[in-house]
Amino acid sequence: MASLLRARNTSPGSMARLLRCFSNVPENTVYSGPTAQNPNKRVTLRHLTEKYRSFQPITMVTAYDYPAAVHLDTAAVDICLVGDSAAMVVHGHDTTLPITLDEMLVHCRAVARGAKTPLLVGDLPFGTYESDSNQAVDTAVRILKEGGMDAVKLEGGSPSRIVAAKAIVEAGVAVMGHVGLTPQAISVLGGFRPQGKNVASAVKVVETALALQEAGCFSVVLECVPAPVAAAATAALQIPTIGIGAGPFCSGQVLVYHDLLGMLQHPHHAKVTPKFCKQYARVGDVINKALLEYKEDVVNGSFPDAHHSPYKISKTDADVFSNELQRLGLDKAASAASEAVYKMDTAKSTKPPYASRNECDHG
């Protein structure tokens, strides 16, 4: 209060500077409002509808962090899904069930900072929308407000899930449905089992998709169902279907980022990599090779070389530094500094004559 009273006698410029100190929000945000999304750049539901009506395939890929989001953005993927599959491919769980809403929000915010073009869809994690419609709406609103998403995805087609989807849509949040194999229901399904393989199950897939459409969903994911079942559902609906292990007759396709890139070359992940996934690269092998090369370079002393030691101290300052170390009684440190100056000056950029760690005498 005292500072405010004193501010009455300050100049307008000083007052403006004082007021700006009251917030840690960037000035352009405080005075100009949030930056509006460019409708010609950001993929919207209208753009998806236009693609769907013109029979242009829709692309969707998962992402869980900023770097992956930037890659999706660069590739101009239509939809970026922050999936609860993060529980498995990021957190190392065997199922999607353990991930929490707070953990999902961290992933959502990171992705939102990196993906500026795709439509952003966040999964509602298990246990955050099943109790009643109010819980479902509250969770969906948090995904948008705190996670920076454009829409949410909801699994299943039981009557309670249909009611929840409808309530979320009526609350003003766009919803993507998900039928077929719904990983959050593995305790009921008896594991990760394909759906729609008999008449009753196939009819249920189509009927559930229709019910989600009636509830207001803008799209439906069809996971692990036979291609003819997915084709039937796609033909029956008036909204796009996104297939994952559902054949080529859907309106679009989705794959998990780590799966399609071959990120995880490890026995634990090999056993859960789905049969339907096409690996477009083996990035995990590249990563492993790079890490082994880095380790070897450190061990044999070839890293860092002169090119990767960019920060310099002048010879004059180095001499003064050594003298100051000697004055402090740190003779070994002074000797090490002088020797390092000499080696850096005479090192060849391709193969610097660095001493190995065990040759260094640390005082």
Catalytic site positions = 223
Residue 295 in tokens:
């380790």
Q: How far is CA 111 from CA 2, 240, 245, 288, in A?
A: 43, 23, 25, 25
Q: For the CA atoms of the chain, what is the radius of gyration? A: 28
Residue in this structure with the two tokens 């101009």, named with its chain if needed: 76
Task: Quote the DSSP letter at residue 58.
Answer: E
Tell me if residue 179 falls in helix, strand or coil: strand
> 3-class SS at 60?
strand
Cβ contacts of 155 within 8 Å, gap of 6 or more:
123, 124, 161, 178, 182, 183, 184, 185
Q: Which of 129, 210, 197 shows the shortest CA–CA distance to 164?
A: 129
- Which are the contacts of 112, defined by CB distance < 8 A and separation ≥ 6? 69, 120, 147, 148, 149
Coil, strand or helix: which one is 22?
coil
Element spanning 152, H or E: strand 151-153
How many residues comprise the chain? 363
Taking the C-alpha atoms of residue 108 and residue 122, their distance in angstroms, rounded to an integer, is 7
- Residues paired with 253 in a beta bridge: 59, 243
Residues 204/210/215/217 CA torsion (nearest 10 deg): 110
Pairing of strands 58-62, 252-255: parallel
What phi, psi does 72 have (nearest 5°)?
-65, -40
Task: Tell whether the torsion through CA atoms of 103, 105, 108 and 109 is positive or negative.
Answer: negative
